[in-house]
Amino acid sequence: MRRMPSLTRSEATERAALITVTSMEVDLDLTGGDRDDHEEFGSRTTIRFTCNQPGATTFLDLRPAALESLVLNGSELDPASLRDGRVELADLAAENEVTVVATMRYSRDGQGLHRAVDPADGQHYVYGHLFLDAAPTVFACFDQPDLKAPYAVTVTAPEHWTVVGNGAAMSTAPGRWELAHTRPLATYFVTVCAGPWASVRSEHDGIPLGIHARASLREPLERQAEQMLEVTRASFDYYHRLFGIRYPFGEYHQVFVPEFNAGAMENPGCVTFRDTYVFRGAAARDEVLTRTNTIAHEMAHMWFGDLVTMRWWDDLWLNESFAEYMAHRTTVDATEFTEGWVDSTVARKMWGYAAERTPSTHPVAGGAALDAQAALQDFDGISYAKGAATLRQLIAHIGDHAFIAGVSAYLREHAYGNGTLADFLGFMERASGTDLGEWSKAWLLTAGLDVIAADQESGVVTREAPAAFPADRPHTLDVAGFTAGAEVFRVEATLTGPSAEVAALREAPRAELVVPNASDLTWATVALDPSTLQAVPQGLATLPDPQARAVVWAALVDGVCLGRVDPRVVVDTFGRAWPQEDNESVLNRVAGVLLGRLVPSFLPAEEEAGARAVVAQAAAELLDASEPGSTRALLGARVLARSSADEATLRPWAERSGLPAGLERDSDFRWLVVRNLAGHGLVDRDFIERVRRDDDTLSGRLGELTARAALPGEAKSWAWEQLTANRERSNYELNALAGGFWAGDDLETLRGFVPRYFADVPAMAQWVGADALGRVATLAYPSRVVEPATADASAEALAGDGLTPAVRRSVVDADSELREALRSRALFG
């Protein structure tokens, strides 16, 4: 597959200055979409647009399987004029109409119009995911965020299917659907979701609501729908009060779709989510919190992103940072999950801090983003988590009232249009009466994060900016002290320079543990003082404030990655403190970091088994001490299933014998156990296949692939071939194979696949889209082989020009993490 050129910012600017799109009519023919042998669908598009320079030339974006006809202002154009995904439109009139009839191809990589088959019942499902530049694979368009237009969409589909989209859908004849005309939308927000959906419908405040998922998920969907609807209602009420602007896009549907690349996508009126959010088995509280936060996040986008859209991708943060901040705020203020900011610390900010440590770090705003594909690489923890933390600092700087007033004015002024960083800051300045030029330069336009430390003896709080990205970032934060399980002081501090003397800190009672940024109000790495670090393993569990505990855990993980903390300290702390933790976000996320990265990467191979045994013992303690069937017991059981090497415990669980309460029929838990057994070589392919036959669903087949990829020895060759050469694999199947491949202790076998990664994975760009391949390249990176030779292979690949932007970004970030582990091993042995 030949790679199409990516739209550049200069091309987008020139085209937007020339034309205005006044209407889009899209007709999709999905007839036969419920048949395995039907790989294509029909697409007919009529676009009306004006041109302010009659006689000028522009281009249309289109990437079809076949182009049947192309008519501009009544004149047939030669289909051969389609080159590299573009059609030249010459001699434009003041008023123009172009009609394109084409055959398109369903995708398997989660981009464009993706089709999946549910093996549980053989049913087919189709959904559109047009982010970031996939719209031309579904219909002809001018594909850039600032050429918004109203859409009229019609769909022909199999008669037993239901169609949902941006506008309210009405069945006008068997298999024929008309969607209500929309408000102006950017191309990447358009979606159609078609299939035999299971649906739950409701209404709130005059807004029709719908929640949809695969038919085989009907039972869990109906069981969990009320909680999701409750969050939806509460979020609508909260945003209506806060912004003073009603939801503007008619009906509101939330569709949980199979094999989705992201967590969710904010299509106006028809949000798509990954369907793993409809929990098949037991769900921990923090998982329900995550789903709740995601629902609130996508709803915030209805105003920030959908009503007002960034003009170009360099202002991505206007969408994502705002929705990230508002989701946490809404979750805390309007739902039962008042611990939402604790979850933000361990689930989101740790992700963002990791992104800041890599060579690919970038400013929150104002990045180059010279073309659309380059912009895709900045959808990371900086644009989300750092941007949200920056907004919290902005509120501390100008006040919440001014912030909300500025946001409301910005939304009203640019409704159904586009905005920029300069526009947004202008409204903030007018609302607050504050010049934000220097603040913006330090927080939004400069990469990097500061290191914050506090010395109680002197009462000095310090701020150290990274040498590579010097900036004068002001910080509003607090410092708290704890002794013998009690908070003995909490003082506020404002840093406007490298250091500040805080008399209240010096005069406060001496504390065993001193925690800077204890309320996690700012964006910074926290450096714990030596005496606090020494006291942490024994004292962390006694801290009464879950937010402060989350900050300490983040400081420990950052400290390991920065070479300041011995990873053994974190393992020791985990063994002592983790079983006593009562915040489920901390329990889940910290265990994930230890098992997913710190233990397999930072500790020498000969110490890994001992560290896993510490984790397993802590998990067993949590499981034994928790109420049977509780979500704490669930988390203990899951971590034990991942970390234990005790076949006497794991084998019966895999056989569904002696399971903890509530997990007797939990197939997802069973796959955790089977994958661990497979990595240790304690089960074979036949056993894995037998478990899959008991769970012949999408999730079950993914579990089988991950477990088979985890098997040692010759199984690795099969898994690698399936991952890198089988072009029929879906995006999720590729993720499953990559996620299991590097499991196990057979480093000698794994070492042989290091050079193959750098040859085979980049070549997959020939048939896997950038969004999907970036994820695969991260999961498949040989991070398990922590050796200088792996770093050398990375360096050689990065020095060449054979990597696509998505793969290059994945290799840069994974290589950075590998070098952190190598440095730690060199420092601490």
Query: Would you please indicate which residues are annotated as catalytic (active-site) residues?
Result: 298
Give, to the nearest 10 degrees, the angle between helix 788-799 and helix 805-828.
150
User: Is the preceding peptide bond at 705 cis, omega within 30 degrees of 0?
Assistant: no
Starting at the earlier edge strand, list the strands of the sheet with 40-51. 75-76, 66-72, 95-105, 40-51, 19-29, 151-156, 176-179, 169-173
Q: Residue 335, Cα to own-chain centre: how many angstroms? A: 22
Q: Which amino acid makes up residue 101?
A: V
Q: What tokens were used for 277?
A: 């959010």
User: Which residues, other chains included, contact 80 with Cβ-Cβ below 8 Å and sequence gap of 6+?
Assistant: none
The total number of residues shown for the chain amounts to 829
Please give the Cα distance from 100 to 76 (Å, whole number). 10
CB neighbour class for 92 (10 Å; exposed up to 12, middle 13-18, buried from 19): buried
CB neighbour class for 726 (10 Å; exposed up to 12, middle 13-18, buried from 19): exposed
Please give the Cα distance from 273 to 115 (Å, whole number). 15
**Is 762 within 8 Å of 807 (Cβ atoms)?**
yes
Q: What is the DSSP pairing of strand 66-72 with strand 513-516?
A: unpaired
- Which H/E stretch holds residue 775? helix 770-780
Q: How far is CA 248 from CA 237, 301, 415, in A?
A: 14, 12, 10
- Which H/E stretch holds residue 470? none
Q: What tokens were used for 684?
A: 């074979």
Q: Residue for token digits 């889209």? A: 769
Q: Residue 346, Cα to own-chain centre: how many angstroms? A: 15
Strands (E), 205-324: 207-213, 252-257, 264-265, 270-274, 309-310
**Is 520 within 8 Å of 551 (Cβ atoms)?**
yes
Q: What is the DSSP pairing of strand 270-274 with strand 252-257?
A: parallel
Please give the Cα distance from 594 to 557 (Å, whole number). 9
User: Which residues, other chains included, contact 234 with Cβ-Cβ below 8 Å and sequence gap of 6+?
Assistant: 330, 334, 335
Query: What phi, psi does 154 have (nearest 5°)?
Result: -125, 150
Nearest to 776 by CA among 85, 59, 50, 109: 109
**Is 89 within 8 Å of 72 (Cβ atoms)?**
yes
Please give the Cα distance from 252 to 258 (Å, whole number). 20
Q: What is the DSSP pairing of strand 151-156 with strand 19-29?
A: parallel
Nearest to 331 by CA among 347, 309, 350: 347
**Is 556 within 8 Å of 569 (Cβ atoms)?**
yes
Please give the Cα distance from 84 to 68 (Å, whole number). 17
Query: What phi, psi does 3 have (nearest 5°)?
Result: -75, 130
Quickly count: other Cβ atoms within 10 Å of residue 494's Cβ.
Answer: 12
Angle at the Cα of 189 (from 187 to 192), degrees rounded to 5?
Answer: 100
**Is 700 within 8 Å of 689 (Cβ atoms)?**
no
Q: What tokens were used for 715?
A: 């199984």
**Is 208 within 8 Å of 247 (Cβ atoms)?**
no
